[in-house]
Chains A and B, each alone.
Chain A
Amino acid sequence: MGKIVGAIVVNEERCKGCSLCVVACPKDVIALTDRKVNVNGYPFAIAARPDECIGCTACGIVCPDGCITVYRKKLE
């Protein structure tokens, strides 16, 4: 069976740093930026441990602002 790998792309300017995606992620992939903010002054979500991502889409589904795009691929 092939391994399933995922990746997320965060719309950093749209993100408000509510951290609901951080809690929703089962693999602890996402974190908020520590000392960086976007144009609106919010810390934003980033894939801190991108290699762990399985593309389950939980972060995208719970994001109230639709900031997260999720990709998933099966490696043979």
Chain B
Amino acid sequence: MNNDIISPENLVYAKPELMNDTPMHYCAGCSHGVVHKLVAEVIAEMGMEEKAIGVSPVGCAVFAYRYIDIDWQEAPHGRAPALATGIKRLWPDRLVFTYQGDGDLACIGTAETIHSLNRGEHIAIIFINNAIYGMTGGQMAPTTLLGQKTATCPFGRVPELHGYPLNITELAARLEGTCYVSRQSVETVAAIHKAKKAIRKAFEASMKGLGSSLVEIVSTCNSGWKLTPVKANEWMQEHMFEKYPKGDLKDTTSL
């Protein structure tokens, strides 16, 4: 029976066309893959395949340029928003976005992030927050939750020694240059649909020249957290959303 269902006219879901067949280096169940798919889908829906320029960071998403068939530029660690600023100012008709993790955006690149958002550069920043340094082996990040155990705080993060988690999306919402600041996640189908809408709005706002946008995706790092992908999603729902509640923090776009 299955054989006559499987034909092109019955196709309802497939891997986005912009995403190529290169095997992704991400761990099994990593949220990066889902966000990559969303970015590829949104760019295709907007018809910007030939005009999109992504800036990939240093971190797990460093090889993002291998997987989505658009133009990419690799930035030095943390400097993606600065690089995107340059690209967008030279080519205002291009869709310029950065794709950064929490180590890149909220630690080494805090200055670039805050200042490019504050200047109101017409770029979109996609921020993957998994509260840990995934690529280097699970060290504490600025976004690590209080009490969370990592390789460099094996007894849990304590504020006296390690300071408090940095909520950079809330900071961004206070800046005058930003037009759209949102926090989403990609653990369920409903959440993925919402995240896609947020990414679409951020991209459209940047093309309309309304200001800078930041879309934070609260993500999992099952390898770093030492959990299975399914358990990591549950842990995220239980612990991460308390500190990083989902929703639009700022929206002046009226899109």
Binding site for B on A (CB under 8 A): 5-7, 9, 14, 16-20, 23-24, 40, 42, 50-51, 55, 57-58, 60-73
B10 at the interface (CB under 8 A from A): yes
* Residues of chain A lying within 8 A (CB to CB) of residue B12: 6, 55, 57, 70-72
Contact of B5 with A64 in the complex, beta carbons under 8 Å: no
State which of A7, A40, A51, A66 has its C-beta within 8 Å of the C-beta of B6.
A7
A69 to B14, CA, bound (A): 4
Contact of B29 with A68 in the complex, beta carbons under 8 Å: no
A-contact bits for B193-215, CB 8 A (1 contact / 0 none): 00000000000000000000000
State which of A16, A50, A60, A65 has its C-beta within 8 Å of the C-beta of B13.
A60
A18 to B34, CA, bound (A): 13
State which of A24, A64, A69 has its C-beta within 8 Å of the C-beta of B189.
A24
* Residues of chain B lying within 8 A (CB to CB) of residue A63: 33-34
Contact of B34 with A64 in the complex, beta carbons under 8 Å: yes
Having A63-B34, A67-B15, one finds 10 other A-B pairs with CB under 8 Å, namely: A7-B5, A40-B23, A55-B10, A55-B12, A64-B31, A64-B32, A64-B37, A65-B26, A72-B10, A73-B10
A74 to B26, CA, bound (A): 36
Contact of B16 with A66 in the complex, beta carbons under 8 Å: yes
Residues in B1-60 with C-beta less than 8 Å from chain A: 1-2, 4-7, 10-16, 19, 21, 23-24, 26-34, 37
A23 to B220, CA, bound (A): 16
With A7-B6, A62-B189, A72-B5 in contact, is A18–B13 under 8 Å at CB? no
CB-CB nearest in chain A for B29: A18
B192 at the interface (CB under 8 A from A): yes
Contact of B13 with A70 in the complex, beta carbons under 8 Å: yes
* Residues of chain A lying within 8 A (CB to CB) of residue B229: 18-20
* Residues of chain A lying within 8 A (CB to CB) of residue B108: none
